Amino acid sequence: MAAPYLVEANADLDHLLTEVARTLQLTPDQHKLAVKHYTAIADWLGASDSPLARYEPRIYPQGSMALETTVRPLRRDEYDLDLVCQLLATGRTALDVFDLVYNRLYSHATYKSMIKRMNRCVRLIYAHDFHLDIIPGEPDAARGPTAIVVPDRDLKQWTPSNPLGYVAWYTDRSRESLVALRKKVDPVPRPTPVEHKPALTIAIQLMKRRRDVWCDAETAPRSIVLTTLAAENYSGTDRVFTALAQIVAGIQDRVAAAHPYRITVCNPTNKDEKFCESFAGPGCYEAFKNFINQLERDLTRIREADGLSEIEDTLGDVFGEEPVQKALRSYTAVQKTKRDAGALEFTGAGLGGLSIVTPVSGIAHAAPTHKYYGATGDPRR
Amino acid sequence: MSLGQQKAQMMRVWPLLDSRVEGGQLVVTGTVKPTPITRSYRVRVTLNDFGTPRVYVLSPILERRVQEPDVPIPHTYEYATPGKEQPCLYHPKSAEWLPSMPLALSIMPWLLSWLLDYEYWHATGEWIGGGVPHGSTKVRDDSPSRAVDDRA
Protein backbone atom coordinates (compact mmCIF):
# COMPACT_ATOMS: atom_id res chain seq x y z
CA MET A 1 0.00 0.00 0.00
CA ALA A 2 1.41 3.39 -0.95
CA ALA A 3 2.06 5.95 1.74
CA PRO A 4 0.54 9.32 0.94
CA TYR A 5 3.02 12.06 0.24
CA LEU A 6 3.08 14.36 3.23
CA VAL A 7 5.73 16.72 1.93
CA GLU A 8 4.53 19.46 -0.38
CA ALA A 9 6.45 19.40 -3.62
CA ASN A 10 8.21 22.60 -4.60
CA ALA A 11 6.80 25.27 -6.90
CA ASP A 12 9.73 25.06 -9.32
CA LEU A 13 9.05 21.39 -10.03
CA ASP A 14 5.39 22.17 -10.39
CA HIS A 15 6.21 24.93 -12.82
CA LEU A 16 8.12 22.41 -14.94
CA LEU A 17 5.20 19.98 -14.84
CA THR A 18 2.80 22.76 -15.85
CA GLU A 19 5.09 23.75 -18.70
CA VAL A 20 5.15 20.11 -19.83
CA ALA A 21 1.36 20.14 -19.70
CA ARG A 22 1.33 23.35 -21.74
CA THR A 23 2.82 21.53 -24.68
CA LEU A 24 0.08 18.90 -24.43
CA GLN A 25 -2.81 21.34 -24.80
CA LEU A 26 -4.69 21.54 -28.02
CA THR A 27 -3.21 24.30 -30.09
CA PRO A 28 -5.42 27.35 -30.60
CA ASP A 29 -5.89 26.23 -34.21
CA GLN A 30 -6.92 22.74 -33.19
CA HIS A 31 -9.35 24.19 -30.69
CA LYS A 32 -10.79 26.60 -33.28
CA LEU A 33 -11.22 23.70 -35.66
CA ALA A 34 -13.02 21.64 -33.06
CA VAL A 35 -15.35 24.53 -32.29
CA LYS A 36 -16.00 25.08 -35.97
CA HIS A 37 -17.02 21.46 -36.51
CA TYR A 38 -19.01 21.38 -33.31
CA THR A 39 -20.95 24.50 -34.26
CA ALA A 40 -21.68 23.28 -37.77
CA ILE A 41 -23.06 20.00 -36.46
CA ALA A 42 -25.07 21.71 -33.75
CA ASP A 43 -26.57 24.03 -36.36
CA TRP A 44 -27.44 21.13 -38.65
CA LEU A 45 -29.03 19.05 -35.93
CA GLY A 46 -30.93 21.99 -34.51
CA ALA A 47 -32.09 23.60 -37.76
CA SER A 48 -35.75 24.59 -37.73
CA ASP A 49 -36.46 22.46 -40.81
CA SER A 50 -34.71 19.39 -39.44
CA PRO A 51 -36.78 16.26 -38.62
CA LEU A 52 -35.38 16.63 -35.10
CA ALA A 53 -36.76 20.12 -34.67
CA ARG A 54 -39.95 18.94 -32.97
CA TYR A 55 -37.83 17.35 -30.25
CA GLU A 56 -35.98 20.61 -29.57
CA PRO A 57 -32.45 19.22 -29.65
CA ARG A 58 -30.10 20.57 -27.04
CA ILE A 59 -26.42 20.24 -27.91
CA TYR A 60 -23.64 20.27 -25.36
CA PRO A 61 -20.11 18.87 -25.10
CA GLN A 62 -19.15 16.03 -22.84
CA GLY A 63 -15.88 14.33 -21.97
CA SER A 64 -12.47 15.88 -22.19
CA MET A 65 -13.52 18.88 -24.28
CA ALA A 66 -16.03 19.86 -21.62
CA LEU A 67 -13.53 19.32 -18.80
CA GLU A 68 -10.55 20.78 -20.69
CA THR A 69 -8.56 17.63 -20.03
CA THR A 70 -7.87 16.96 -23.71
CA VAL A 71 -4.32 15.94 -24.49
CA ARG A 72 -2.71 16.26 -27.90
CA PRO A 73 -2.44 12.87 -29.48
CA LEU A 74 0.87 11.06 -29.50
CA ARG A 75 1.88 9.72 -32.86
CA ARG A 76 -1.08 8.99 -35.10
CA ASP A 77 -3.80 8.69 -32.55
CA GLU A 78 -6.91 10.69 -33.21
CA TYR A 79 -8.38 13.04 -30.71
CA ASP A 80 -12.07 13.42 -30.41
CA LEU A 81 -14.82 15.70 -29.35
CA ASP A 82 -17.93 14.26 -27.76
CA LEU A 83 -21.16 16.05 -28.05
CA VAL A 84 -24.55 15.14 -26.72
CA CYS A 85 -27.66 15.69 -28.80
CA GLN A 86 -30.34 15.66 -26.14
CA LEU A 87 -33.91 15.49 -27.40
CA LEU A 88 -37.19 15.85 -25.59
CA ALA A 89 -38.81 12.55 -24.69
CA THR A 90 -39.81 11.09 -28.05
CA GLY A 91 -41.72 8.04 -26.87
CA ARG A 92 -39.73 6.02 -29.41
CA THR A 93 -37.38 3.10 -28.90
CA ALA A 94 -33.69 3.55 -28.25
CA LEU A 95 -32.71 2.21 -31.67
CA ASP A 96 -35.26 4.45 -33.36
CA VAL A 97 -33.89 7.54 -31.69
CA PHE A 98 -30.36 6.52 -32.64
CA ASP A 99 -31.46 6.20 -36.28
CA LEU A 100 -33.26 9.53 -36.12
CA VAL A 101 -30.03 11.29 -35.30
CA TYR A 102 -28.01 9.12 -37.65
CA ASN A 103 -30.32 9.83 -40.56
CA ARG A 104 -30.27 13.55 -39.98
CA LEU A 105 -26.49 13.53 -40.16
CA TYR A 106 -26.45 11.14 -43.10
CA SER A 107 -28.76 13.45 -45.04
CA HIS A 108 -26.05 16.12 -45.06
CA ALA A 109 -23.97 15.96 -48.24
CA THR A 110 -20.65 16.34 -46.44
CA TYR A 111 -21.32 14.18 -43.40
CA LYS A 112 -22.67 11.33 -45.54
CA SER A 113 -19.16 10.27 -46.49
CA MET A 114 -17.68 10.65 -43.00
CA ILE A 115 -20.30 8.91 -40.97
CA LYS A 116 -20.04 5.67 -38.99
CA ARG A 117 -22.34 3.93 -36.54
CA MET A 118 -20.74 3.18 -33.19
CA ASN A 119 -22.31 1.41 -30.25
CA ARG A 120 -23.54 4.52 -28.47
CA CYS A 121 -22.78 7.36 -30.83
CA VAL A 122 -22.69 8.46 -34.41
CA ARG A 123 -19.13 9.16 -35.41
CA LEU A 124 -18.00 11.70 -37.98
CA ILE A 125 -14.43 11.17 -39.07
CA TYR A 126 -12.62 14.25 -40.26
CA ALA A 127 -9.54 14.14 -42.42
CA HIS A 128 -7.10 15.62 -39.93
CA ASP A 129 -6.74 13.08 -37.04
CA PHE A 130 -9.93 14.22 -35.49
CA HIS A 131 -13.36 12.69 -35.01
CA LEU A 132 -16.58 13.93 -33.52
CA ASP A 133 -18.94 11.61 -31.66
CA ILE A 134 -22.59 12.61 -31.44
CA ILE A 135 -24.39 10.90 -28.60
CA PRO A 136 -28.19 10.88 -28.86
CA GLY A 137 -30.06 11.13 -25.58
CA GLU A 138 -33.37 11.71 -23.90
CA PRO A 139 -34.14 12.99 -20.41
CA ASP A 140 -34.22 10.46 -17.58
CA ALA A 141 -36.14 12.47 -15.03
CA ALA A 142 -36.47 9.54 -12.64
CA ARG A 143 -32.70 9.57 -12.13
CA GLY A 144 -32.27 13.30 -11.83
CA PRO A 145 -32.75 16.66 -13.54
CA THR A 146 -29.69 16.38 -15.76
CA ALA A 147 -29.71 12.58 -16.14
CA ILE A 148 -30.24 11.17 -19.60
CA VAL A 149 -30.56 7.82 -21.30
CA VAL A 150 -28.47 6.98 -24.34
CA PRO A 151 -29.15 4.24 -26.93
CA ASP A 152 -26.90 1.20 -26.73
CA ARG A 153 -27.04 -0.67 -30.03
CA ASP A 154 -25.50 -3.89 -28.73
CA LEU A 155 -27.94 -4.09 -25.83
CA LYS A 156 -30.75 -2.77 -28.05
CA GLN A 157 -31.92 -0.54 -25.22
CA TRP A 158 -31.34 2.68 -23.33
CA THR A 159 -28.42 3.03 -20.93
CA PRO A 160 -28.14 5.65 -18.22
CA SER A 161 -25.76 8.61 -18.41
CA ASN A 162 -25.35 12.07 -16.92
CA PRO A 163 -22.75 14.15 -18.72
CA LEU A 164 -23.89 17.50 -17.31
CA GLY A 165 -23.97 16.08 -13.83
CA TYR A 166 -20.46 14.74 -14.34
CA VAL A 167 -19.13 18.11 -15.44
CA ALA A 168 -20.67 19.79 -12.41
CA TRP A 169 -19.23 17.13 -10.12
CA TYR A 170 -15.79 17.41 -11.68
CA THR A 171 -15.82 21.19 -11.39
CA ASP A 172 -16.65 20.90 -7.74
CA ARG A 173 -13.94 18.31 -7.16
CA SER A 174 -11.34 20.45 -8.88
CA ARG A 175 -12.36 23.45 -6.77
CA GLU A 176 -13.06 25.60 -9.77
CA SER A 177 -15.57 28.38 -9.39
CA LEU A 178 -19.13 28.17 -10.64
CA VAL A 179 -18.37 30.88 -13.16
CA ALA A 180 -16.03 28.46 -14.80
CA LEU A 181 -18.76 25.82 -14.81
CA ARG A 182 -21.18 28.01 -16.71
CA LYS A 183 -18.52 28.50 -19.31
CA LYS A 184 -18.45 24.78 -19.93
CA VAL A 185 -22.05 24.32 -20.94
CA ASP A 186 -23.16 25.18 -24.48
CA PRO A 187 -21.22 25.95 -26.48
CA VAL A 188 -17.66 24.59 -26.43
CA PRO A 189 -15.77 26.87 -24.09
CA ARG A 190 -12.89 29.16 -24.93
CA PRO A 191 -9.70 27.39 -23.96
CA THR A 192 -8.36 28.18 -20.52
CA PRO A 193 -4.62 28.83 -20.54
CA VAL A 194 -2.77 26.08 -18.76
CA GLU A 195 -1.50 28.30 -15.92
CA HIS A 196 -5.12 28.96 -14.95
CA LYS A 197 -6.18 25.34 -15.01
CA PRO A 198 -6.75 23.65 -11.69
CA ALA A 199 -4.03 21.31 -10.45
CA LEU A 200 -6.40 18.35 -10.83
CA THR A 201 -6.86 19.03 -14.54
CA ILE A 202 -3.14 19.33 -15.19
CA ALA A 203 -2.51 16.15 -13.23
CA ILE A 204 -5.07 14.31 -15.37
CA GLN A 205 -3.52 15.60 -18.56
CA LEU A 206 -0.11 14.38 -17.44
CA MET A 207 -1.55 10.98 -16.51
CA LYS A 208 -3.15 10.67 -19.93
CA ARG A 209 0.09 11.58 -21.59
CA ARG A 210 1.95 9.00 -19.53
CA ARG A 211 -0.67 6.45 -20.50
CA ASP A 212 -0.20 7.30 -24.17
CA VAL A 213 3.58 6.95 -23.81
CA TRP A 214 3.65 3.77 -21.74
CA CYS A 215 0.54 1.66 -22.26
CA ASP A 216 -0.36 -0.68 -25.11
CA ALA A 217 -3.14 0.91 -27.11
CA GLU A 218 -5.40 -2.18 -26.92
CA THR A 219 -5.53 -2.42 -23.14
CA ALA A 220 -4.82 1.19 -22.14
CA PRO A 221 -7.17 2.48 -19.44
CA ARG A 222 -9.96 4.69 -20.73
CA SER A 223 -9.70 8.41 -20.15
CA ILE A 224 -13.08 8.61 -18.38
CA VAL A 225 -11.90 5.96 -15.90
CA LEU A 226 -8.65 7.83 -15.17
CA THR A 227 -10.44 11.16 -14.95
CA THR A 228 -13.09 9.88 -12.55
CA LEU A 229 -10.59 8.08 -10.31
CA ALA A 230 -8.34 11.13 -10.31
CA ALA A 231 -11.14 13.49 -9.31
CA GLU A 232 -12.36 11.06 -6.64
CA ASN A 233 -8.94 10.68 -5.06
CA TYR A 234 -7.77 14.26 -5.36
CA SER A 235 -7.91 15.78 -1.90
CA GLY A 236 -7.30 19.41 -2.71
CA THR A 237 -3.86 20.86 -3.36
CA ASP A 238 -2.48 23.55 -5.63
CA ARG A 239 0.56 21.44 -6.39
CA VAL A 240 0.38 19.28 -9.50
CA PHE A 241 3.01 16.88 -8.16
CA THR A 242 1.19 16.44 -4.88
CA ALA A 243 -2.10 15.93 -6.73
CA LEU A 244 -0.53 13.12 -8.75
CA ALA A 245 0.81 11.55 -5.58
CA GLN A 246 -2.59 11.74 -3.86
CA ILE A 247 -4.31 10.25 -6.89
CA VAL A 248 -1.90 7.36 -7.33
CA ALA A 249 -1.91 6.48 -3.63
CA GLY A 250 -5.70 6.68 -3.48
CA ILE A 251 -6.19 4.42 -6.49
CA GLN A 252 -3.70 1.88 -5.16
CA ASP A 253 -5.56 1.77 -1.84
CA ARG A 254 -8.84 1.19 -3.60
CA VAL A 255 -7.45 -1.53 -5.81
CA ALA A 256 -5.97 -3.28 -2.78
CA ALA A 257 -9.20 -2.99 -0.82
CA ALA A 258 -11.25 -4.44 -3.68
CA HIS A 259 -8.90 -7.36 -4.28
CA PRO A 260 -9.63 -10.06 -5.45
CA TYR A 261 -12.47 -8.20 -7.15
CA ARG A 262 -12.14 -5.27 -9.48
CA ILE A 263 -12.83 -1.72 -8.39
CA THR A 264 -16.03 -0.05 -9.49
CA VAL A 265 -15.83 3.23 -11.34
CA CYS A 266 -19.08 4.90 -12.20
CA ASN A 267 -20.45 8.34 -12.88
CA PRO A 268 -20.73 9.77 -9.37
CA THR A 269 -23.91 11.55 -10.46
CA ASN A 270 -25.43 8.46 -11.99
CA LYS A 271 -24.32 5.24 -10.34
CA ASP A 272 -25.91 3.16 -13.08
CA GLU A 273 -23.45 4.54 -15.61
CA LYS A 274 -20.52 2.21 -15.10
CA PHE A 275 -17.26 3.33 -16.67
CA CYS A 276 -15.54 0.26 -15.25
CA GLU A 277 -17.15 -2.02 -17.79
CA SER A 278 -14.04 -1.29 -19.83
CA PHE A 279 -12.08 -3.39 -17.32
CA ALA A 280 -13.90 -6.47 -18.53
CA GLY A 281 -11.82 -6.77 -21.70
CA PRO A 282 -8.98 -9.33 -21.64
CA GLY A 283 -5.95 -7.99 -19.83
CA CYS A 284 -7.52 -4.59 -19.26
CA TYR A 285 -7.70 -4.60 -15.49
CA GLU A 286 -4.18 -5.97 -15.26
CA ALA A 287 -2.97 -3.24 -17.61
CA PHE A 288 -4.73 -0.62 -15.50
CA LYS A 289 -3.09 -1.84 -12.29
CA ASN A 290 0.31 -2.00 -13.95
CA PHE A 291 -0.11 1.55 -15.20
CA ILE A 292 -0.92 2.89 -11.74
CA ASN A 293 2.09 1.12 -10.26
CA GLN A 294 4.27 2.51 -13.00
CA LEU A 295 2.99 5.98 -12.17
CA GLU A 296 4.10 5.46 -8.59
CA ARG A 297 7.59 4.56 -9.78
CA ASP A 298 7.58 7.58 -12.07
CA LEU A 299 6.71 9.92 -9.23
CA THR A 300 9.46 8.51 -7.05
CA ARG A 301 12.01 8.99 -9.80
CA ILE A 302 10.87 12.56 -10.37
CA ARG A 303 10.99 13.34 -6.69
CA GLU A 304 14.50 11.90 -6.37
CA ALA A 305 15.98 13.50 -9.49
CA ASP A 306 18.97 15.61 -8.50
CA GLY A 307 19.63 18.58 -10.72
CA LEU A 308 18.44 19.67 -14.14
CA SER A 309 20.13 16.88 -16.09
CA GLU A 310 18.46 14.18 -14.06
CA ILE A 311 15.13 15.98 -14.12
CA GLU A 312 15.36 16.30 -17.86
CA ASP A 313 16.14 12.60 -18.27
CA THR A 314 13.41 11.52 -15.90
CA LEU A 315 10.64 13.79 -17.17
CA GLY A 316 11.72 12.98 -20.72
CA ASP A 317 11.33 9.26 -20.08
CA VAL A 318 7.97 9.76 -18.46
CA PHE A 319 6.31 12.34 -20.69
CA GLY A 320 8.43 12.45 -23.84
CA GLU A 321 11.45 14.57 -24.64
CA GLU A 322 9.98 17.44 -26.57
CA PRO A 323 7.63 18.77 -23.88
CA VAL A 324 10.36 18.54 -21.27
CA GLN A 325 12.99 20.38 -23.29
CA LYS A 326 10.64 23.28 -23.81
CA ALA A 327 9.76 23.35 -20.14
CA LEU A 328 13.35 23.42 -18.95
CA ARG A 329 14.32 26.09 -21.39
CA SER A 330 11.56 28.43 -20.37
CA TYR A 331 12.43 27.87 -16.71
CA THR A 332 16.09 28.75 -17.18
CA ALA A 333 15.20 31.65 -19.45
CA VAL A 334 13.05 33.15 -16.68
CA GLN A 335 16.18 33.46 -14.59
CA LYS A 336 18.01 35.44 -17.24
CA THR A 337 15.07 37.71 -17.93
CA LYS A 338 14.63 38.49 -14.27
CA ARG A 339 18.32 39.02 -13.80
CA ASP A 340 18.65 41.41 -16.71
CA ALA A 341 15.76 43.39 -15.35
CA GLY A 342 17.40 43.51 -11.92
CA ALA A 343 14.40 41.61 -10.63
CA LEU A 344 16.04 38.34 -9.64
CA GLU A 345 15.73 37.83 -5.91
CA PHE A 346 17.94 35.59 -3.86
CA THR A 347 18.52 34.66 -0.28
CA GLY A 348 21.58 33.54 1.62
CA ALA A 349 19.57 31.84 4.31
CA GLY A 350 19.83 28.05 4.53
CA LEU A 351 21.42 26.74 1.37
CA GLY A 352 20.73 30.01 -0.36
CA GLY A 353 18.60 30.20 -3.43
CA LEU A 354 17.34 32.14 -6.38
CA SER A 355 13.68 32.91 -6.71
CA ILE A 356 12.78 31.57 -10.14
CA VAL A 357 9.27 30.42 -9.30
CA THR A 358 9.32 29.61 -5.60
CA PRO A 359 9.71 32.76 -3.54
CA VAL A 360 12.80 32.55 -1.37
CA SER A 361 12.22 31.81 2.26
CA GLY A 362 14.32 34.04 4.41
CA ILE A 363 15.41 37.57 3.70
CA ALA A 364 15.39 38.34 -0.01
CA HIS A 365 17.80 40.60 -1.85
CA ALA A 366 17.90 41.65 -5.48
CA ALA A 367 20.80 40.27 -7.47
CA PRO A 368 22.64 43.02 -9.31
CA THR A 369 22.80 42.57 -13.07
CA HIS A 370 26.00 41.16 -14.48
CA LYS A 371 27.35 39.35 -17.49
CA TYR A 372 29.43 36.23 -17.42
CA TYR A 373 32.79 36.43 -18.98
CA GLY A 374 34.91 33.84 -20.64
CA ALA A 375 34.78 31.38 -23.49
CA THR A 376 31.34 30.75 -24.78
CA GLY A 377 31.73 27.05 -25.31
CA ASP A 378 32.74 25.34 -28.50
CA PRO A 379 36.06 26.73 -29.73
CA ARG A 380 35.25 25.29 -33.14
CA ARG A 381 32.43 27.83 -33.48
CA MET B 1 35.09 47.44 2.20
CA SER B 2 37.74 45.89 4.39
CA LEU B 3 38.05 42.12 4.60
CA GLY B 4 36.63 42.32 8.08
CA GLN B 5 33.58 44.17 6.81
CA GLN B 6 33.16 41.75 3.94
CA LYS B 7 33.29 38.87 6.38
CA ALA B 8 30.72 40.44 8.68
CA GLN B 9 28.37 41.04 5.76
CA MET B 10 28.86 37.45 4.53
CA MET B 11 27.99 36.08 7.95
CA ARG B 12 24.86 38.19 8.11
CA VAL B 13 23.54 37.30 4.68
CA TRP B 14 24.90 33.73 4.37
CA PRO B 15 24.90 32.48 7.94
CA LEU B 16 25.39 28.81 7.13
CA LEU B 17 28.58 29.36 5.17
CA ASP B 18 31.92 29.26 6.95
CA SER B 19 33.51 32.70 6.61
CA ARG B 20 36.95 33.43 8.00
CA VAL B 21 39.89 35.72 7.38
CA GLU B 22 43.18 33.87 7.17
CA GLY B 23 46.48 34.67 5.48
CA GLY B 24 45.23 38.04 4.34
CA GLN B 25 42.24 36.49 2.59
CA LEU B 26 38.58 36.14 3.26
CA VAL B 27 37.71 32.49 2.69
CA VAL B 28 34.07 31.47 2.45
CA THR B 29 33.22 27.77 2.23
CA GLY B 30 29.93 25.95 2.29
CA THR B 31 27.01 24.40 0.45
CA VAL B 32 24.59 26.26 -1.77
CA LYS B 33 21.56 25.12 -3.76
CA PRO B 34 20.66 27.57 -6.50
CA THR B 35 17.01 26.52 -6.89
CA PRO B 36 14.78 23.75 -5.50
CA ILE B 37 15.41 21.67 -8.62
CA THR B 38 19.16 22.07 -9.03
CA ARG B 39 21.82 20.09 -7.25
CA SER B 40 23.60 21.36 -4.17
CA TYR B 41 27.18 22.49 -4.56
CA ARG B 42 30.01 22.83 -2.11
CA VAL B 43 31.76 26.05 -3.07
CA ARG B 44 34.59 28.25 -1.94
CA VAL B 45 34.98 31.95 -2.57
CA THR B 46 38.10 33.84 -1.64
CA LEU B 47 38.77 37.55 -1.56
CA ASN B 48 42.23 38.99 -1.06
CA ASP B 49 43.52 42.41 -0.05
CA PHE B 50 43.69 43.52 -3.66
CA GLY B 51 39.99 42.81 -3.94
CA THR B 52 40.15 39.99 -6.45
CA PRO B 53 37.53 37.36 -5.78
CA ARG B 54 38.10 33.78 -6.85
CA VAL B 55 35.35 31.26 -7.09
CA TYR B 56 35.77 27.48 -6.83
CA VAL B 57 33.19 24.75 -7.19
CA LEU B 58 34.53 22.01 -4.94
CA SER B 59 31.89 19.35 -5.39
CA PRO B 60 30.39 18.02 -7.46
CA ILE B 61 33.23 19.14 -9.74
CA LEU B 62 32.28 21.00 -12.88
CA GLU B 63 32.29 18.69 -15.85
CA ARG B 64 32.10 18.89 -19.59
CA ARG B 65 29.16 17.30 -21.33
CA VAL B 66 29.46 13.59 -21.89
CA GLN B 67 28.10 14.00 -25.40
CA GLU B 68 30.72 16.59 -26.34
CA PRO B 69 33.91 15.97 -24.35
CA ASP B 70 35.93 18.39 -26.49
CA VAL B 71 33.72 21.35 -25.74
CA PRO B 72 34.93 23.32 -22.72
CA ILE B 73 32.56 24.54 -20.06
CA PRO B 74 31.40 28.01 -21.09
CA HIS B 75 32.26 31.08 -19.09
CA THR B 76 35.04 29.60 -17.03
CA TYR B 77 38.65 30.41 -16.29
CA GLU B 78 41.05 27.50 -16.94
CA TYR B 79 38.50 26.12 -19.35
CA ALA B 80 41.15 24.07 -21.18
CA THR B 81 42.02 22.10 -18.06
CA PRO B 82 39.25 19.72 -17.02
CA GLY B 83 38.91 19.67 -13.27
CA LYS B 84 40.39 23.13 -12.85
CA GLU B 85 37.63 25.26 -14.28
CA GLN B 86 36.39 28.21 -12.29
CA PRO B 87 33.26 30.21 -13.06
CA CYS B 88 33.79 33.64 -14.67
CA LEU B 89 31.12 35.75 -13.14
CA TYR B 90 31.83 39.17 -14.52
CA HIS B 91 34.04 41.01 -16.99
CA PRO B 92 37.15 42.29 -15.22
CA LYS B 93 37.13 45.46 -17.34
CA SER B 94 33.56 46.22 -16.56
CA ALA B 95 32.52 48.01 -13.44
CA GLU B 96 30.21 45.20 -12.52
CA TRP B 97 32.30 44.17 -9.58
CA LEU B 98 34.36 46.51 -7.45
CA PRO B 99 36.09 45.77 -4.17
CA SER B 100 33.71 48.22 -2.58
CA MET B 101 30.81 45.88 -3.33
CA PRO B 102 29.72 43.35 -0.76
CA LEU B 103 30.69 39.84 -1.86
CA ALA B 104 27.56 38.54 -0.18
CA LEU B 105 25.25 40.55 -2.40
CA SER B 106 27.06 40.26 -5.71
CA ILE B 107 29.50 37.41 -6.27
CA MET B 108 27.36 34.97 -4.28
CA PRO B 109 24.08 35.39 -6.18
CA TRP B 110 25.99 35.56 -9.46
CA LEU B 111 27.51 32.23 -8.56
CA LEU B 112 24.04 30.74 -7.99
CA SER B 113 22.91 32.06 -11.36
CA TRP B 114 25.99 30.71 -13.02
CA LEU B 115 25.42 27.26 -11.51
CA LEU B 116 21.84 27.18 -12.79
CA ASP B 117 22.98 28.17 -16.28
CA TYR B 118 25.76 25.59 -16.03
CA GLU B 119 23.28 22.84 -15.17
CA TYR B 120 21.06 23.82 -18.07
CA TRP B 121 24.03 23.86 -20.42
CA HIS B 122 25.12 20.50 -19.09
CA ALA B 123 21.68 19.01 -19.77
CA THR B 124 21.15 20.56 -23.20
CA GLY B 125 24.39 21.95 -24.65
CA GLU B 126 22.95 25.43 -24.78
CA TRP B 127 24.09 28.33 -22.63
CA ILE B 128 21.21 30.73 -22.33
CA GLY B 129 22.56 32.79 -19.46
CA GLY B 130 24.18 35.30 -21.76
CA GLY B 131 27.68 36.61 -21.27
CA VAL B 132 30.66 38.04 -23.04
CA PRO B 133 33.40 36.01 -24.74
CA HIS B 134 37.05 36.02 -23.61
CA GLY B 135 39.28 38.43 -25.43
CA SER B 136 36.46 40.78 -26.05
CA THR B 137 37.14 44.30 -24.92
CA LYS B 138 33.54 45.26 -25.31
CA VAL B 139 31.19 44.55 -22.51
CA ARG B 140 28.36 43.53 -24.74
CA ASP B 141 25.85 40.84 -24.09
CA ASP B 142 25.77 38.25 -26.82
CA SER B 143 23.03 36.05 -25.45
CA PRO B 144 21.98 33.43 -26.35
CA SER B 145 25.60 32.77 -26.20
CA ARG B 146 26.93 31.07 -29.29
CA ALA B 147 29.36 33.77 -30.39
CA VAL B 148 32.80 32.96 -31.67
CA ASP B 149 35.58 33.05 -29.13
CA ASP B 150 37.74 35.99 -30.22
CA ARG B 151 40.84 34.47 -28.83
CA ALA B 152 40.50 31.06 -30.46
pLDDT at residue A246 above 90? yes
What is the predicted pLDDT for the residue at B134? 57
What is the predicted pLDDT for the residue at B99? 80
Q: What number of other Cβ atoms are within 10 A of residue A307's Cβ?
A: 19
- At a CB cut-off of 8 Å and minimum separation 6, what does A194 contact? A18, A21, A22, A25, A202
Q: Is A27 on the interface with B (CB under 8 A)?
A: no
Of A332, A374, A376, the CB nearest to B116: A332
Interchain proximity B90–A371, CB inside 8 Å:
yes
What is the predicted pLDDT for the residue at B95? 67
What is the predicted pLDDT for the residue at A72? 84
What is the predicted pLDDT for the residue at B129? 81
pLDDT at residue B140 above 60? no
pLDDT digits (tens, 9 = 90+) for A305-343: 999 999 999 999 999 888 899 899 989 998 888 888 888
Q: Which CATH number fits domain A28-190: 3.30.460, 1.10.405, 2.30.29, 3.30.70?
A: 3.30.460
Interchain proximity A376–B130, CB inside 8 Å:
no
Size of interface A-B (CB pairs under 8 A): 193
Q: Average of pLDDT values for B116-137?
A: 81
In 3-state terms, what secondary structure has residue A206? helix
Higher pLDDT, B118 or A189: B118
Q: Average of pLDDT values for B81-87?
A: 90
B7: region left, alpha or beta (phi > 0 left; psi from -120 to 50 alpha):
alpha
What is the predicted pLDDT for the residue at A80? 77
Residue type, position A122, single letter: V
Task: Give the orientation angle of helix A11-22 with respect to helix A308-319, to 10 degrees.
Answer: 40
Higher pLDDT, A123 or A130: A123
- Under the banding of pLDDT at 50, 70 and 90, the label for residue B143 is very low
pLDDT digits (tens, 9 = 90+) for A187-225: 555 678 888 899 999 999 999 999 999 999 899 999 999
Asked if residue A69 lies in contact with residue A204, where contact means CB atoms within 8 angstroms, the answer is yes
Interchain proximity B129–A336, CB inside 8 Å:
yes
pLDDT at residue A140 above 90? yes
Interface pTM, i.e. ipTM: 0.82
- Provide, rounded to the nearest whole percent, the portion of chain A with pLDDT above 70: 90
Q: Average of pLDDT values for A257-279?
A: 94
Separation between Cα atoms, residue A242 and residue A225, nearest integer Å: 20
Separation between Cα atoms, residue A59 and residue A41, nearest integer Å: 9
- Provide, rounded to the nearest whole percent, the portion of chain A with pLDDT above 90: 64
Q: Is A152 on the interface with B (CB under 8 A)?
A: no
pLDDT digits (tens, 9 = 90+) for A57-106: 999 999 888 898 988 887 765 677 899 999 999 999 999 999 999 999 99
Separation between Cα atoms, residue A276 and residue A286, nearest integer Å: 13
Give this prediction's pTM: 0.86
Separation between Cα atoms, residue A242 and residue B63, nearest integer Å: 33
Q: Is B7 on the interface with A (CB under 8 A)?
A: no
Round the CA-based radius of gyration of chain B to a whole number and report it: 16
pLDDT digits (tens, 9 = 90+) for A227-242: 999 999 998 888 999 9
What is the predicted pLDDT for the residue at A188? 59
What is the predicted pLDDT for the residue at B93? 67
Interchain proximity A373–B131, CB inside 8 Å:
yes
Domain ranges of chain A: 1-25+193-338, 28-190
Q: Average of pLDDT values for A110-131?
A: 91
Of B104, B113, B131, the CB nearest to A354: B113
What is the predicted pLDDT for the residue at B145? 39
Q: Which residues pair with A365 in a beta bridge?
A: A346
> Which residues of B14-132 form beta strands (DSSP E)?
18-22, 25-32, 41-48, 53-59, 76-77, 86-87
What is the predicted pLDDT for the residue at B130? 78
Q: Average of pLDDT values for A150-168?
A: 95
- A130-139, A364-373, B11-20: least confidently modelled range: A364-373
Asked if residue A171 lies in contact with residue A181, where contact means CB atoms within 8 angstroms, the answer is yes
B contact residues 34-53, partner A, Cβ 8 Å cutoff: 34-40
What is the predicted pLDDT for the residue at A76? 60
What is the predicted pLDDT for the residue at A307? 93
pLDDT at residue B150 above 90? no
Asked if residue A88 lies in contact with residue A139, where contact means CB atoms within 8 angstroms, the answer is yes
Interchain proximity A351–B32, CB inside 8 Å:
yes
Angle at A271 between CA A177 and CA A187, to 5 degrees: 40
Interchain proximity B113–A339, CB inside 8 Å:
yes
Average pLDDT over all residues of chain A = 88
- Under the banding of pLDDT at 50, 70 and 90, the label for residue B144 is very low
pLDDT at residue A294 above 80? yes
Asked if residue A225 lies in contact with residue A291, where contact means CB atoms within 8 angstroms, the answer is no
Q: Average of pLDDT values for B74-91?
A: 88
Q: In the structure, how many helices (H) and strands (E) does chain A have?
A: 12, 12
Higher pLDDT, A362 or A48: A48
pLDDT at residue B152 above 50? no
Asked if residue A44 lies in contact with residue A108, where contact means CB atoms within 8 angstroms, the answer is yes
